[in-house]
Amino acid sequence: MTDVLNPITDRRRQFFLKGIMPKDDLYKGIKTVGFVSFIPFILAAGPLTGYFIGSFLQKRFNLSSWVVLISVGLGFLVAITEIIKILKAIIRVNKQ
């Protein structure tokens, strides 16, 4: 059985079999892992920051508990927008 492979795929397979990876692919992979590993911290930091700001505002100005819920929701929305920016950067790095 003969396998007809794409020349680019065959070249990459040879690099991986030899243990040698092209530098561009290695750097793209490292950047991607760095971006992706930062996402959980952003997901945790947004709502936590919102909670602390909301709790401070509630105690300082004697407001209702809705302020804390609203600020946690805003923190979550900010975290989601930052994650979208990171995903766009990952796509941009992988296209180059």
Query: Could you state, in chain order, the average pLDDT of each consecutive group of 10 residues for the chain (96 residues)?
Result: 56 60 77 93 96 96 95 97 95 87
Secondary structure, 3-state, 19-76: CCCCHHHHHHHHHHHHHHHHHHHHHHHHHHHHHHHHHHHHHHHCCCCHHHHHHHHHHH
Q: How far apart are CA 47 and CA 53, in angstroms?
A: 10
pTM of the complete model: 0.73
Alpha-carbon gap, residue 1 to 19, rounded angstroms = 26
Structure tokens at 18: 């030899």
